């Protein structure tokens, strides 16, 4: 995505943003209540869609080439032959289904690139890398920008950068905006996904302002969390971010994606996020181009839930 250059953007325009916390939580409850998915067939359809939007992730200190290669194989072939047989009557399930991306540390990008290329899926599965001093963001800007460039040189097509949350907490919005702009420039042809670190921003107002500034600075996606914070992706935060995306789209005509990550553990969690995005942003956002779920164990959980539902339908 090529973002316009907002040279005249006034950072101070969002300092008056105010979010009523109780209203946000009440609206989330209403959305889920009014859009409850109960039919096993419909539920499996939502779950299958969720699989195609997963950034299958490993961010462990003991990641190895063999582990990352197995992850790529899982991304390309989420269902085993036995699972495909059990799900043969579920509409849309087939051997061509794959996740949206594989997400790793920069040092493992070469391994992902080699595996995805070997499987002939370079045009279908994105290679995402966390960068810029993940997960804290408290590194020199020079080294953070270099990390982006090195990851792209190794084959990354998407870069999940992490904001320096201290800038937000100290009200240094202008500095944050300029840093994201430089990250955008360093990404060149790669997609820029900006991790807000919502669990450490303190208020919903800060979440909204960080989201808006990131989008005006050139983000292709805004992402909730690194997955390393005490509090990660929550639906109320998701609602605030969806509203920011909607406001930005109305102001600019540009569609920016959303990526919740961290804390999404169950199949119902995944469906609730899809329902939220569908309700707030519309059907057009429910594609891998505009919605992702960052997760490691969620894929297996979803497949088990789909098999359970399919067996229930068969009875």
List pLDDT tens digits, range 76-92.
999 999 999 999 988 99
Query: Which pLDDT band holds residue 40 (cuts at 50, 70, 90)?
Result: confident
- Is residue 38 predicted with pLDDT exceeding 80? no
- Is 3 domain-assigned? no
- Domain of 115 in residue numbering reads as 19-314
pTM (whole model) above 0.85: yes
- Is 42 domain-assigned? yes
Give the active site residues: 160, 223, 259
- Is 1 domain-assigned? no
User: What total number of domains does the chain contain?
Assistant: 1
Q: What is the CATH number of the domain that holds 42?
A: 3.20.20.70
- Is residue 18 predicted with pLDDT exceeding 60? yes
* % of the chain beyond a pLDDT of 70: 96
* pLDDT score for 248: 95
Q: Among 154-163, 274-283, 306-315, whose mean pLDDT is lowest?
A: 306-315
- Is 4 domain-assigned? no
List pLDDT tens digits, range 251-269.
999 999 999 999 999 999 9
- The mean pLDDT value for 34-62 works out to 91
* pLDDT score for 2: 46
- Is 209 domain-assigned? yes
Name 49's Cβ contacts closer than 8 Å, sequence gap at least 6.
274, 286
- Is 2 domain-assigned? no
- Is 246 domain-assigned? yes
3-class DSSP string for 140-179: CHHHHHHHHHHHHHCCCCEEEEECCHHHHHCCCHHHHHHH
């Amino acid at each position: 995505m090529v973002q316009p250059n907002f040279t005249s953007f006034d950072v101070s325009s969002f300092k008056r943003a105010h979010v009523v916390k109780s209203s946000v939580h009440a609206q989330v409850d209403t959305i889920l209540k009014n859009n409850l998915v109960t039919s096993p067939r419909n539920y499996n359809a939502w779950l299958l869609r969720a699989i195609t939007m997963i950034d299958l992730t490993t961010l462990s200190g003991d990641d190895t080439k063999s582990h990352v290669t197995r992850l790529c194989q899982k991304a390309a072939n989420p269902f085993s032959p036995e699972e495909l047989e059990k799900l043969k009557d579920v509409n849309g399930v087939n051997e061509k289904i794959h996740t949206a991306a594989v997400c790793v540390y920069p040092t493992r990008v070469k391994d992902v690139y080699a595996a995805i290329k070997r499987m002939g899926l370079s045009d279908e599965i994105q290679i995402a890398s966390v960068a810029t001093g993940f997960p804290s963001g408290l590194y020199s800007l020079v080294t953070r920008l270099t990390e982006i460039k090195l990851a792209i040189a190794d084959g990354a097509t998407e870069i999940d950068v992490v904001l320096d949350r201290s800038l937000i907490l100290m009200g240094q919005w202008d500095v944050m905006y300029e840093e994201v702009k430089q990250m955008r420039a360093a990404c060149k042809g790669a997609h820029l996904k900006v991790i807000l670190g919502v669990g450490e921003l303190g208020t919903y107002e800060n979440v909204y302002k960080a989201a808006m500034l990131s989008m005006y600075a050139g983000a292709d996606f805004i992402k909730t969390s690194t997955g390393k914070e005490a509090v990660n992706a929550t639906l109320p935060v998701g609602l605030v971010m969806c509203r920011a995306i909607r406001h930005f789209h109305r102001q600019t005509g540009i569609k920016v994606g959303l990526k919740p990550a961290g804390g999404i553990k169950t199949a119902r969690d995944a469906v609730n996020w899809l329902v939220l995005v569908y309700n707030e942003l519309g059907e057009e956002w429910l594609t891998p181009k505009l919605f992702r779920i960052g997760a490691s164990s969620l894929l297996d959980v979803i497949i088990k839930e789909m098999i359970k539902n399919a067996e229930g339908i068969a009875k």
